[in-house]
């Protein structure tokens, strides 16, 4: 099962609803895997959409009842996610529940739900911890790769001490699946994540409890969401240092998009590697 006991907040009502959301996501993935009928998808999606709206309203009510300080920020995430699910539903209705779009939805949904419940929601019941402590970062790429390591730890259950960060200079970026995010604001440029096939499949199989062997739309979409969350966290960290940086939606690209001779950080895990490259007009002083 995709749900883990470690996701439990200790608020029974909310925990039960989270379990139900994981169950629905799992059901959707299994339906896609067995090539269900359009009618089955339509039903699953309607149920999911209605349940997301119901759950978010209930969770927000709970946040209000405990006077949760991070309420506004959290509700913004809920709103954005709801909009995304509605957009997918519209797109799917229009294209007759096309399999590629369904996989795209399932990948995003899985990655978003796991991170939201395993990290964001936990902040409601815990004192917000400073994720990066007082760590010093010389360059943006160090901050972005650290953020990626933290997100992978949360999502795939890696032991943080088993993840090694290693700087690489002046080479052709490595990876089998590349995701790019445009950065705008004081920090303008792009962040590119290059996942090895091995790591990509490990991450998505761990999240979905499936045994996928190929990089399909579901894998790409989950990696896009993972990159989105990592860069979003890095951007929030920059904001705390009073450096504005907005991120645009993630897109897949190819490894040549950075050109040759780049400097990056390789995030080595027991399940394969990820290389992070951040190309910015001016390095801010961190
Ligand atoms: Fe939430």
pLDDT digit string (tens) for the chain, length 286 residues = 889 999 999 999 999 999 999 999 999 999 999 999 999 999 889 999 999 999 999 999 999 999 998 999 999 999 999 999 999 999 999 999 999 999 999 999 999 999 999 999 998 887 544 455 567 888 999 999 999 999 999 999 898 889 999 999 999 999 999 999 999 999 999 999 999 999 999 999 999 999 999 999 999 999 999 999 999 999 999 999 999 999 999 999 987 888 888 999 999 999 999 999 999 999 998 8
- Please give all residues whose CB falls under 5 A of ion ligand 1, grouped by chain where several chains appear: 59, 121
Contacts of 53 (CB under 8 A, 6+ apart): 82
What is the distance in A from the centroid of ligand 1 to the CA of 254?
33
Task: Round to whole Å and give the CA distance between 247 and 199.
Answer: 24
What is the distance in A from the centroid of ligand 1 to the CA of 165?
30
Picking from 140, 154, 141, 120, the residue whose alpha carbon sits closest to that of residue 267 is 141
Task: Round to whole Å and give the CA distance between 231 and 237.
Answer: 10
What is the distance in A from the centroid of ligand 1 to the CA of 74?
6
What is the distance in A from the centroid of ligand 1 to the CA of 21?
12
What is the distance in A from the centroid of ligand 1 to the CA of 136?
30
What is the distance in A from the centroid of ligand 1 to the CA of 247?
21
Greatest alpha-carbon pair distance for the chain in Å reads: 54
CA 41 to mean position of chain CA atoms: 23
Structural domains in the chain, CATH included, are 5-125 (1.20.120.50), 140-280 (3.40.1550.10)
What is the distance in A from the centroid of ligand 1 to the CA of 62?
10
């Amino acid at each position: 099962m995709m749900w883990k006991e470690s996701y439990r907040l200790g608020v029974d009502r909310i925990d039960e609803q989270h379990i139900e959301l994981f169950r629905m996501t799992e059901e959707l993935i299994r339906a896609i895997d067995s090539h269900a009928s359009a009618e089955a998808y339509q039903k699953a999606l309607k149920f999911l959409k209605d349940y997301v709206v119901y759950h978010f309203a209930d969770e927000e009510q709970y946040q209000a009842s405990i006077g949760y300080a991070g309420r506004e920020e959290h509700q913004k995430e809920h709103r954005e996610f709801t909009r995304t699910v509605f957009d997918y539903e519209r797109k799917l209705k229009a294209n007759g529940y096309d399999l590629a779009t369904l996989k795209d939805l399932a990948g995003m949904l899985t990655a978003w739900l796991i991170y939201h419940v395993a990290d964001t929601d936990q902040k409601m019941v815990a004192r917000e911890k400073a994720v990066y402590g007082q760590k010093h970062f010389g360059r943006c790429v160090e901050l972005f790769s650290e953020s990626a390591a933290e997100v992978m730890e949360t999502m795939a259950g890696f032991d943080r001490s088993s993840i090694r960060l290693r700087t690489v200079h002046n080479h052709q970026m490595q990876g089998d699946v590349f995701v790019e995010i445009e950065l705008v604001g004081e920090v303008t440029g792009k962040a590119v994540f290059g996942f090895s096939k091995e790591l990509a499949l490990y991450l998505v199989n761990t999240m979905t409890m499936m045994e996928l062997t190929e990089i399909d739309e579901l894998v790409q979409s989950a990696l896009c969401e993972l990159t989105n969350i990592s860069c979003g966290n890095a951007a929030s960290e920059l904001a705390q240092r009073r450096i504005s940086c907005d991120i645009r939606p993630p897109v897949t690209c190819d490894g040549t998009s950075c050109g040759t001779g780049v400097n990056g950080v390789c995030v080595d895990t027991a399940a394969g590697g990820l290389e992070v490259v951040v190309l910015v007009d001016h390095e801010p002083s961190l």
